[in-house]
């Protein structure tokens, strides 16, 4: 498999198909699990936001949303294993894209009331965004690369409506530039954030940018499995990158998995529970 500029295997092809079958078929082989592990943390943060602001249905902006995976997990209360079976099983192989969409809309209609949340997805892949929106896994879509430009007026409206901003793997491909543009679209009302970031990508530039914008950030003491390495070459490149940024892979990446850390950011001065309470300092543990 070809490696990208970060040293990770290039999986660009699974994000540009008209439906998620290639995405789930490929990632199932790598035991990709970070959205499932992120789900309870996103749900917890959303509940804290509801209590703090008395908002019944918070709007969640999902950066790098691809086919709306986080939206499906939270809105429909499904699991990654259910999604793997849904798109990678025999039943999915013979279906048309429209048939897949019809089935997904039924799922959303039947189960979306289980979790009160509205999702807006931001991604540079038009096919993935289009599918997520048509399926109902997201309620709004922003097709943009905010690394290279400011949001348009219409995009600013969607960004400004977000109460929470989450991600499960896009930081490292996007930077503090995108995060800053998202925050600046809000004006005075700043969203809360939760980002799962691979340990090979330092979060300091993002945290520093957020601090300048009035945020405090804490890192959860747990580390979270993202997926297995696709090859020994990918593992070697990632281990080299970890060494270059001063992160020890002992007991983690050396054992064959990519690992992420969770960073939580909220505007300073929020009443109610302190942000550190949302990410308690515990002895290092692995999920």
pLDDT score at 31: 98
For residue 277, pLDDT over 90 is answered with: no
| Banded model confidence at residue 241, pLDDT cuts 50, 70, 90 | very high
* Mean pLDDT score, 70-96: 94
Flag whether pLDDT at 283 surpasses 70: no
pLDDT tens per residue, range 8-46: 988 999 999 999 999 999 999 999 999 999 999 999 999
The CATH class for the domain spanning 12-230+259-278 reads: alpha beta
The β-bridge relationship of strands 118-123 and 140-143 is parallel
Indicate if the pLDDT at residue 281 is higher than 50. no
Q: Is 180 exposed, middle or buried (0-12, 13-18, 19+ CB in 10 A)?
A: middle
Nearest to 71 by CA among 161, 158, 167, 155: 167
**pLDDT score recorded for residue 287:** 47
Residue with tokens 């990158």: 241
Distance CA 170, CA 35 (A): 12
Convert the pLDDT of each residue in 144-166 to its tens digit.
999 999 999 999 999 999 999 99
Annotated domain spans of the chain = 12-230+259-278
Residue 182 has pLDDT above 50, yes or no: yes
Answer yes or no: is pLDDT of 276 > 90: no
Let me know how many helices (H) and strands (E) the chain has, helices first.
12, 7
Q: The tokens of 120 are what?
A: 């807006």
DSSP 9: B
What is the percent of the chain with per-residue pLDDT over 90, rounded to a whole number?
A: 84
* Crossing angle between the packed helical segments 80-88 and 34-53, to the nearest 10 degrees: 130
Reduced to 3 states (helix: H, G, I; strand: E, B; else coil), residue 91 is helix
What is the average pLDDT value for the chain, to the nearest integer? 92
Write down the pLDDT at residue 227: 98
pLDDT surpasses 50 at 285: no
- Is the pLDDT confidence value at 198 over 90? yes
């Amino acid at each position: 498999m070809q490696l990208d500029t970060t040293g990770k295997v290039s999986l660009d092809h699974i994000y540009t198909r008209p439906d998620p079958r290639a995405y789930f078929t490929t990632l199932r082989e790598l035991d990709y699990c970070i959205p499932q592990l992120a789900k309870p943390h996103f749900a917890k943060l959303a509940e804290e936001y509801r209590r703090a602001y008395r908002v019944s249905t918070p709007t969640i902006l999902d950066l790098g949303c691809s086919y709306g995976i986080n939206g499906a997990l939270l809105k429909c209360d499904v699991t990654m294993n259910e999604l793997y079976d849904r798109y990678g099983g025999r039943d999915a192989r013979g279906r048309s894209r429209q048939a897949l969409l019809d089935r997904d809309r039924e799922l959303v209609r039947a189960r979306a009331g289980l979790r009160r949340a509205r999702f807006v997805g931001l991604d540079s892949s038009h096919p993935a965004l289009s599918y997520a929106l048509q399926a109902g896994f997201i309620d709004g879509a922003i097709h943009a690369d905010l690394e290279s430009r400011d949001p348009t007026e219409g995009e600013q409206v969607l960004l400004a409506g977000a109460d929470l901003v989450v991600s499960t793997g896009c930081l490292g491909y996007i930077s503090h530039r995108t995060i800053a543009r998202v925050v600046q679209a809000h004006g005075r009302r700043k969203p809360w954030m939760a980002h799962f970031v691979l340990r090979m990508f330092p979060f300091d530039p993002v945290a520093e940018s957020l601090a300048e914008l009035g945020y405090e950030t804490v890192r959860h003491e747990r580390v979270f499995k993202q997926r297995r390495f696709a090859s020994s070459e990918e593992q070697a490149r990632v281990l080299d990158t970890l060494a270059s940024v001063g992160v020890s892979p002992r007991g983690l990446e050396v054992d064959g998995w990519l690992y992420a850390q969770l960073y939580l950011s909220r505007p300073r001065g929020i009443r109610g529970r302190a942000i550190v309470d949302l990410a308690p300092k515990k002895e290092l543990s692995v999920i």
